[in-house]
Amino acid sequence: MSVALRSRLAPYLLGMPAGAYLAIFFIVPLFAVLSISLETGNYDTGFVLTWHWHEYVTAIREYHTQFIRSFEYAALSTVLALVLAYPISYWIAFHGGRHKSTYLLLLLLPFFVSFLIRTLAWQFILSDQGIVLGTLKNWHLLPQSLRVLSTPSAVIAGLTYNALPFMALPLYVGLERIDRRLVQAAGDLYARPATSFLRVIVPLSAPGIFAGFLLVFVTNVGDYVNATILGGPDTTMIGNIIQTEYLTNFDYPMAAALSSLLIGGTLIVIFLYARTFGASQIQEYA
């Protein structure tokens, strides 16, 4: 084999392990889900692939409210996570000094606990007579009729809290990679700190913002734990419907159809986000 041919094949050979992993654990299961969604039958007699598309029509007709709610909750929690995580990541990256690793560890330390336990802790904190609301009600700072659990606010708060590390770490990496000389140059050109932040730091941290958006939005749009523990009947997300159809009703085609629609909708949102905010410009910064 000639040197030129080996040079041309080297990138593909190096990418083969990752490509094989992606094919086995993503593409193959995806096609399996799509095929199940086109089956008919029941749990007792079995399911047969009949290329029946009616499950998709039924899924959209009966569960469009949960689909819309899931995307709304995911979008709101993603924006809130960005607003909360950006100042923290900025301070660690620019002012953390030699203790950056320690601050990152402190930021991530609560998330070493199980996801379920952390969500149950939020249920305890937000309960009507919990340590926060109960105390404020006893001090007559809040009305006794105030209720947070089983509301959209509780679900969005849980989604935002559990997504913070997925937003903070990409933001920190993006901010850490910024050349400090560019920030100093903005100051030398008499730019105010706010102007320097908005015109230099934020655009240069765009790769971190984009990566954080992907991680948080994709994770939250299919979540069902927060809606189950912190929500109620009016806050059901599509993940709860998929869980019920699969584990309780044993309606595998419907569960697969809902999952396929969720994947398709998520990919569309990501594509529109990339086109709107300029993925090509983000790649230039990276």
Termini Cα distance of the chain? 35
Instruction: Say if 57 falls within a structural domain.
Output: no
- pLDDT value, residue 140: 83
Q: How many domains, the chain? A: 1
> Residues 36-62: what's their mean pLDDT?
88
Range among 118-122, 167-171, 184-188 rated most confident = 167-171
The domain of 91 spans 62-285
**CB 257, CB 176: distance < 8 Å:** no
Task: Please name the helix (run of DSSP H) or strand (run of DSSP E) that holds residue 84, with its range, or none.
Answer: helix 54-95
Residue at 68 is within a domain: yes
Is 12 inside a domain boundary?
no
Q: How far is CA 168 from CA 200, 216, 218, in A?
A: 19, 10, 15
In a domain, 103, yes or no: yes
Range with top average pLDDT, 39-53, 116-130, 182-196, 252-266: 252-266
Share of the chain above pLDDT 90, in %: 39
Spatial CB neighbours of 154, under 8 Å, sequence gap ≥ 6: 122, 126, 148, 230, 231, 235
Q: Give a yes or no: residue 53 inside a domain.
A: no
Is the Cβ–Cβ distance between 40 and 253 less than 8 Å?
yes
Residue type, 182: L
More confidently predicted of 246 and 276: 246
pLDDT of residue 262: 93
Give the tens place of pLDDT for each residue, 112-124: 888 888 888 888 8
d(CA 113, CA 204): 33
Q: Which amino acid is at 20?
A: A
Q: Give me the chain's average pLDDT, please.
A: 87
pTM recorded for the entire structure: 0.86
What number is the average pLDDT over the span 177-200? 85
- Whether residue 50 is contained in a domain is answered as no
Query: Tens digits of per-residue pLDDT, 16-37?
Result: 888 888 888 888 888 999 999 9
* CATH code for position 232: 1.10.3720.10
Q: For residue 232, is it within any domain?
A: yes
20 in any annotated domain: no
What CA–CA distance (Å, rounded) separates 157 from 118?
Answer: 12
| Higher per-residue confidence, 258 vs 4 | 258
Query: 46 phi and psi, to 5 degrees?
Result: 100, 170
